[in-house]
Structure 1
Amino acid sequence: MSSISVVMPTCGKPGYLAYTLASLSVQTDRNFQLIVVDDDDGTSRATVQQYRADVHLVYLSQKNAGRSAARNTGIGAADGDHVLFLDDDRIAAPDLVAHHHSAQRHSSGVVIGWKSRCLTSWRRDALPMQESDFLQLATRHPAIAARMAVEDFDLIAPADIHTDHAAALDIAGLGDDGDNYPQIVRRYGAGLTGFRLPWVLGTTANLSVPRALLEDVGGFDEQYHGWGMEDTDLSYRLHRAGAPFRVEPSAVNWHQIHPLGPGPLRRDLRRRETDLTRNLARFCDRHRTVETYLYWRKWKSKLSLEAASDLLDVLDRAGSDTWRAELLDTYATLVATDLAAP
């Protein structure tokens, strides 16, 4: 039996998956099982086979059942006491598994790793790049930045991860991702003590959980379709079940900036926004609690997470069921109106 089972769904991104597999093949802690669930009917089989000799690997294939179903399939095949969720576009630091392993020895709940960004392959007019990304590349690697105006190219190759992980990420790395919420960690600490919405930080990009807890809450809800919210829903149910949450900043991986779909970038961005709006409304409707509606307000840029946590404290001190009921009615109406808007 492995100490940790790494569960990773993949769908139609074999080029990016190769970097992820290369990073998992050079982990300092080798006591893990890697379960790759190909949700694209075997598209990535050849890529996965290249790394079978390097890791304890289980490859499963299914046909477009969705992200939640793929992860549930992976959980069902896991033999580790803990499950580490990764995405198929993440480059793991060499000690990622070791840090999750260590953190889980001292935790009985959810461990949230730290997320960074990187650019492994440049594709003109196809990538959701931020202005800060271009500025970093122009400052650190002006020759690379100059090429970006005239050609598509790979900044590093998967083999570079094998040869010299640090050097490869020195070229490709772009700093921290936006969903680490460092302001929350600064205020509440790595243990998120006193923070009322710790589940918001838990996404399957870099997250480990005792397998028994996953089984207790029933895994992922397969009624979420398209992009977004299935992992937040799982984290919220783990929170409601009493699982503690903590951030482990030393457990790092890098998100490879990649196309969001087969079409033009703007169209793919609109599709993701539509998926997220629908799934967020389903999340609120499923749970109907003040904290889930406050999370919706955060996504609508109406409320910070710190303010939401403070508001929940105020409600508890007031001890008024009437206030909570009025808030729930108000938020339910706002969500329904938002979903009906064109």
Structure 2
Amino acid sequence: MITTYNRPEALEAVVRACFMQNDKNFEIIIADDGSTANTQACVERLGATAPMPLRHVWQPDQGFRAAMARNRGTLAARGEYIVFLDGDCIPQRDFIARHRALAQPGCLVSGSRILMSEGLTRRVLEENIDIAGAAPAAKLRWRLAGDLNKTLQPLGLRWPDLGRTRRTFSWRRIKSCNLGVWRSDLERVNGFDESFVGWGYEDSDLVLRLFHAGVARKDGAFATEVFHLWHREAQRDQETSNRAVVLERAESKITQAAVGLREHAA
């Protein structure tokens, strides 16, 4: 599932990288948080050549409602395992294959990112550079120039899949821009909590509630990295209050979203 909002040029780069996965046995859900007609046109153009099912789930623009977009996308999905990806995160060729290999009942997989500079992001989008398929020498040059923040992951180094599961909770590397979760586990905790207002911490809240429900966490580092296109930081006016809610839930051991998947069904 790819979450997007009014950045069709980035979305196209992400979706085309999905088309080129070495494992094509999956569907693409575009979870759109109120984008304009430009994104609709982009999705229609991509859908015409998609090598796998592609659907567009749209909702009106009423502010930052990524939690709702992801819940609506979950309800539209047909698979039993959902990989959440943001519309500015370009997956490497084996992204789906590695998530599939790491998927395990009773666990979620939290992936990681390779941050890109503003300059490289602009070139990738303007010149249609296939960064995921670029030669190792090119990736190394970008790293040496400071355009990538990691060295080994872009070159395809992979760690063994042993020892990735952690049974204790950690706030580190919780990113819904690269997260694999079983649909049954999402339903068990009522999905993302749409009661969060503004940007921030709705992903931490989900992972925390899953942990309270007994879902362990597997580290997807050196396996599931994505190239994160540069963008200006989002407005974080509600970040402090959202963080306070999550910290309170950490103490109360709550598992259920106040407003989530069940409310859509109702």
The residue correspondences of 1:1-342 to structure 2 (distance < 5 A) are 7-43=1-37, 44-52=39-47, 53-54=49-50, 55-65=52-62, 66-104=65-103, 106-119=104-117, 122=119, 154-155=123-124, 157=126, 159-161=128-130, 164-166=133-135, 169=139, 174-176=148-150, 189-192=163-166, 196-198=168-170, 200-249=172-221, 250-260=223-233, 271-272=235-236, 274-285=237-248, 287=249, 289=251
Cα pair 2:83 2:178 within 8 Å, conserved: yes
The number of aligned residues is 234
Deviation at 1:153, TM superposition (A): 5.1
Which amino acid letter does the alignment assign opposite residue 99 of structure 1?
R
Q: 1:291 to 1:221 in 2, by over 3 A?
A: closer
CA 1:165/1:77 → structure 2, altered by over 3 Å: closer, same or farther?
farther
Deviations 1:150-183 (A, max 9, x none): xx95255474328944467556651249xxxxxx
Cα drift, residue 41 of structure 1 = 4.2
Q: After superposition, what is the alpha-carbon deviation per residue over 1:101-146, rounded to whole angstroms, capped at 9, x for unaligned?
A: 1111x44310112221113x53xxxxxxxxxxxxxxxxxxxxx8xx
The 3-state SS of whatever aligns with 1:16 is helix
Counterpart code for 2:232: P
Tell me the CA shift for residue 60 of structure 1: 1.6
Q: Deviations over 1:267-297 (max 9, x none)?
A: xxxx42x321121122234x261899xxxxx
Q: CA deviation at 1:240?
A: 0.3
* Structure (1 or 2) with the greater helix fraction: 1
Write the distance in 2 (CA, Å) between the matches of 1:27 and 1:157.
22
The 1-side partners of 2:250 and 2:132 are apart by: 50
Secondary structure, counterpart of 2:187 in structure 1:
helix
TM-score, L = length of structure 1: 0.61
Q: Is the 8 A contact 2:108 2:215 kept in 1?
A: yes
- For 2:133 and 2:220, the matched residues in 1 are separated by 24
Q: Which residue of 2 aligns with 1:296?
A: none
Asked if the contact 1:220/1:231 (under 8 Å) is kept, the reply is: yes
Structure with higher Rg: it is: 1
CA deviation profile, 1:200-233 (whole Å, cap 9, x unmatched): 5332111101101001110011011211100100
- Structure 1 residue runs without a partner (length 5+): 1-6, 123-143, 145-151, 178-184, 262-270, 293-342
- Provide TM-score, normalisation by structure 2: 0.77
Change in CA separation of 1:169 and 1:289 when aligned onto 2, cut-off 3 Å? same
Q: Cα gap change, 1:164/1:59 in structure 2, threshold over 3 Å: closer, same or farther?
A: same
Q: Which has the higher contact order (CA 8 A, sep 6+)?
A: 2
Distance of 2:140 and 2:8 partners within structure 1: 23
Identity %: 27
Question: Which deviations, in whole Å up to 9, do the C-alpha atoms of 1:58-87 show, x marking residues without a partner?
Answer: 112111251110000000001111000011
Whether the 8 Å contact between 2:27 and 2:53 is mirrored in structure 1 is yes
C-alpha contact (below 8 Å) 1:85/1:204 kept by paired residues: yes
Query: Contact 1:22–1:158 (CA<8 Å) still a contact in 2?
Result: no
Cα distance change of structure 1 residues 63 and 109 upon mapping to structure 2, 3 Å threshold: same
The two structures, once aligned, show a CA RMSD in angstroms of 3.0
Check the 8 A contact 1:199/1:239 in 2, yes or no.
Answer: no
Aligned partners of 2:116 and 2:86: how far apart in 1? 14
